Each structure stands twice: as C-alpha cells, then as structure tokens.
C-alpha cells in the first residue's frame, strides 16, 4: 500500500442546529472513505462539527503530524464557509498530498486550484470509484473524473461514467468518532440520534430550477435504485433513532417504496423515518398508509411557490390548485409535513414573495423553509435570467436584480419567516410532534429539562448580536 494513514475530513464547523439537514452525517464523504478503507493501512474520518478540539488549525496540524498522516482528503460541498475553507486548505502541510472532492469542488475546479496552491487533485462528481484508482497510485493521466496540475496548468481528465447504485458499497459507520444528535445551542435537547440511508440515486423529473439530478459536470444521474433487501439490511444495522431517506424522491417507484415499508414492518424494525417526496405522493394513499405503519414521521416536500406562473416556469408538473387538493389528502395522515419554497424568482414582486406564508398556512404545512433562487452552472433557468433586463448572476450562482438586491431579499426573507413562525405556530408544531409520536415520552421529558438552558443560550446570543429587541418585536407584533 502506498499510503499508510489517510485522513478524510469534513471541514465544516458550523453548528448542526441551523437546519434539519445539519443533524446528519457527511454521507458523501463517508461513501468515498468506505471505498478507500481497504487500500490504505489506516483511515481516519473526522467531522469538525463534532471534533471541536481540532477546529483550531494548529491543533489539527499537530494531529496530522503526530498521527503520521500521509494523505489528506477533504470534502468541499457547500457555498457556506467557502472562503474559510479555501483559507483552511492553504494551511495544510506542503509535503502531504491533498485531494478535495464534493459538489462545490467539482463546480469550482479552476478557482480552487487558483486559490489553493496546495491542492494536488480534485475528484469531480461521484468519487467512490475514482478514489480507488488514486489510492492505487495509478497514472493520473488515465484516471477518469479527476483534475490535477501539470507544468503550471490544470488538466481535466474525461468525466467518469456514473456507476449503477448497486455497485456502490454503503458507508461503514464504524469509521465515525461520534453520534449525530439534535443539538440546539450546543445542548443535546432530547437524546435523539440521526442517520441517513441512500436507497436510490437520481431523479426522473426535470424541474428547471433544480440541478440536484445533474452533477456540476452537467451529467444527468438517471434514477437508479438499490436492491430492496440491501436497503432494509442497512437500516436494520443502524443504531440511530431517526433515519432520513436521502433519495431525491422516495416515492419515485411507488411499488418499490411500498415493498420497503412492508419489509420494515415484517422485520419489526422500530425506527422513525423521514423522506423527501413530491407533493403528488397524495395520489397513492396505500403507500402513505404503509409509510405511517412503517414509522415514517416526516416528509420533506418541494412546493416552491404559491403562484402558478412560477410553478410553470419551474416545470414542476402541478399548479397551486393541485397543491391544495393534494394537501387535503395528506392532512389525513399522521405525518409531519415540511415544505420548501423559493423566493426572489425571475419577475416575482415582493407582494408575491410574501404570499408564501399565508399559502403555507392555508394548505396545512407544519413547517417551512425558503431560499433565494440560485442558478447553478447547468440550470435551464440561467439563460432566462441572463436575458431578463435588470437581473444579475454572481460567479457563485446568486441571483439578484436592480430592484431586489441581496440585502432587500434578505429583509423579505425575514418578513416571510416571522409571518409564518408566530408563537401560535410554534405551539402547533409541538402539538403535532406529540400527536404523531415523533418523540417518545422520555425524550419529551429530557427536552423540557434542558429547555431553560436552551432559552438562556438563545437569549444570550441575541443580546450579543444586539438584536434581541428586534427579534421579539418581529415575533410578537404582526407584520413587522
């Protein structure tokens, strides 16, 4: 073996309390590390969200030296903390090969090589097969799916064909150093642990704003589903209380989804599940009944907009009337519904953006998240934005207009947030969680015990940032 000790590192240090998705492990990195583990003497996987003692660069460098690390692999996945991570990469030792991968790294190959001279190789797209060839010390010229430096220039090898999902080994959870818990303000609020399962990759739909079914190379990941037994076998071996199906759409193949639920019930697996689905899952009541019986407690649904002209622009395949009709069905099932929305769309006025909150309340969504429209490299909407007068796209895909600047859109986002999340709404959320038994009685008791500590931490943070008064006014005074 060429390498004796490889470090696989997730460099993000932001609190996991900021989003539901932040409660989960760095699954992509874990998949790649699992593929590489038999090709190196020792492999260490570190998630800096939990390894607080290594967040200081000096301490991490000491760890690298003391543990005799001779290969460093870093995932660069998101836009957030991008500046900090580029600076972080420049602190790595000169004499140890540095490989980066992940969605953002694939998207920004030239920029990362320019800003981070210590990066030797960028693995583009899905990296499970590519890392094996890198670890075997194959000639760089022959490795598909990588970019590397040669004679002061960047060489981009041909893209690697996307493998069948059944050929990819599920992540080895024994590589982890920690459990993934619900931490709010650094406090473990209910002793609930989280994990993910990827039962399929790809999506057969073509929503125009979405590039999740495309990698940053423009490759379309056709829907590819794992063997059902292998999926449930993986679930059976997971210790976490809550498991997220991180498929683009768990309900793509209705019959297959039903069979997964049936097998979970047959094996008497007692877990709580969450999944991403399309709103038209309401057309399949038998599947919904089986999901409830199997333990599905939370569904994450991309609604995107209350306006038909925007839904048509997005090519969603449904309109607002259909959303209302579907949710009239969904509300009959004891499931918690989280809706995703996008605002700042091309041609959308502030008045239209502010319709998100009343529409979400009308259809009966329990919680919502909303994000400003972004344009990835291969987004079909990019050409429309570029041709629309007054609209601009930054190098990072952020879209704004002459009328609605980044700062203005941020203020509109706050209006949406505080219009929806009123004190009454927060009580309804708690009531719904109790009704669907998302939390056990013991977990609820633990939450109530730590609640004073949590409130103290939140208030202290608001005071520190000088915004406690404004926050209270937004919460308790309507339309602030």
Look up tokens 């997964």; give the residue: 260
Separation CA 388–CA 333 (nearest Å): 43
Query: What tokens were used for 410?
Result: 């941020």
C-beta separation of 442 from 241 below 8 A: no
Separation CA 74–CA 84 (nearest Å): 13
Q: What is the mean pLDDT of each run of 10 residues along the chain (480 residues)?
A: 93 59 83 96 93 88 96 91 91 96 90 95 94 90 94 92 87 92 65 91 61 53 86 96 93 96 98 96 98 98 96 92 98 97 95 97 96 76 82 82 93 94 90 89 74 67 64 53
In this predicted structure, what is the pLDDT of residue 470? 62
In this predicted structure, what is the pLDDT of residue 50? 85
Separation CA 462–CA 440 (nearest Å): 31
In this predicted structure, what is the pLDDT of residue 178? 87
Query: What tokens were used for 249?
Result: 């759409």
- CA-wise closest residue to 63 among 148, 130, 135, 5: 5
C-beta separation of 161 from 130 below 8 A: no
pTM (predicted TM-score): 0.86
Q: Domains for the chain: give ranges and CATH numbers.
A: 5-165 (3.40.50.280), 173-448 (3.80.30.20)
Which H or E element spans position 66? helix 57-66
SS3 content of the chain, % helix, strand, coil (to 5): 40, 20, 40
Strand, helix or coil for residue 293: helix
């Amino acid at each position: 073996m060429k390498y004796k000790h490889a470090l696989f590192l997730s460099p993000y240090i932001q609190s996991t309390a900021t989003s539901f998705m932040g409660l989960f492990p760095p699954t992509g990195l874990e998949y790649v590390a699992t593929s590489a583990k038999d090709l190196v003497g020792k492999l260490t996987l570190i998630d800096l969200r939990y390894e607080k003692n290594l967040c200081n660069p000096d301490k991490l460098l000491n760890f690298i030296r003391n543990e005799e690390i001779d290969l460093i692999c870093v995932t660069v996945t998101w836009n957030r903390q991008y500046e900090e991570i580029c600076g972080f990469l420049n602190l790595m030792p000169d004499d140890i090969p540095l490989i980066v991968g992940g969605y953002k790294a694939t998207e920004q190959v030239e920029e990362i090589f320019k800003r981070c001279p210590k990066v030797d190789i960028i693995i583009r797209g899905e990296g499970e097969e590519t890392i094996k060839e890198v670890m075997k010390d194959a000639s760089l010229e022959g490795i598909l799916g990588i970019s590397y430096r040669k004679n002061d220039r960047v060489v981009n090898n041909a893209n690697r064909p996307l493998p069948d999902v059944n050929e990819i080994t599920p992540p080895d959870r024994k590589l982890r150093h920690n459990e993934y818990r619900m931490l709010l303000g650094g406090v473990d609020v209910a002793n609930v642990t989280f994990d993910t399962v990827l039962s399929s990759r790809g999506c057969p739909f073509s929503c125009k704003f979405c590039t999740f079914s495309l990698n940053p190379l423009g490759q379309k990941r056709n829907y590819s589903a794992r063997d059902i037994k292998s999926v449930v076998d993986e679930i059976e071996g997971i210790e976490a209380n809550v498991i997220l199906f991180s498929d683009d759409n768990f309900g793509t193949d209705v019959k297959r989804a039903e069979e997964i639920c049936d097998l979970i019930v047959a094996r008497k697996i007692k877990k709580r599940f969450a999944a991403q689905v399309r709103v038209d899952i309401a057309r399949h009541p038998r599947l919904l009944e089986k999901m409830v019986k199997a333990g599905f407690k939370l569904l994450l649904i991309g609604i995107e907009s209350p306006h038909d002209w925007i839904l048509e622009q997005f090519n969603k395949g449904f309109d607002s009337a259909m959303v209302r009709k579907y949710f009239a069905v969904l509300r009959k099932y004891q499931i918690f519904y989280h809706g995703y929305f996008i605002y700042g769309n091309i041609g959308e006025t502030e008045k239209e953006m502010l319709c998100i909150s009343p529409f979400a309340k009308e259809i009966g969504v329990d919680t919502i998240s909303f994000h400003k429209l972004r344009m990835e490299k291969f987004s079909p909407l990019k050409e429309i934005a570029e041709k629309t007068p007054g609209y601009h796209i930054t190098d990072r895909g952020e879209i704004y207009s002459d009328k609605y600047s980044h700062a203005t859109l941020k203020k509109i986002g706050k209006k949406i947030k505080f219009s929806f999340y009123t004190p009454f709404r927060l009580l309804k959320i708690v009531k719904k969680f109790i009704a669907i038994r998302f939390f056990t009685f013991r977990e609820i008791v633990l939450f109530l015990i730590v609640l004073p500590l949590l409130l103290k931490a939140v208030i202290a943070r608001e005071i520190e940032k000088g915004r406690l008064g404004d926050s209270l006014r937004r919460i308790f005074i309507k339309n602030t």
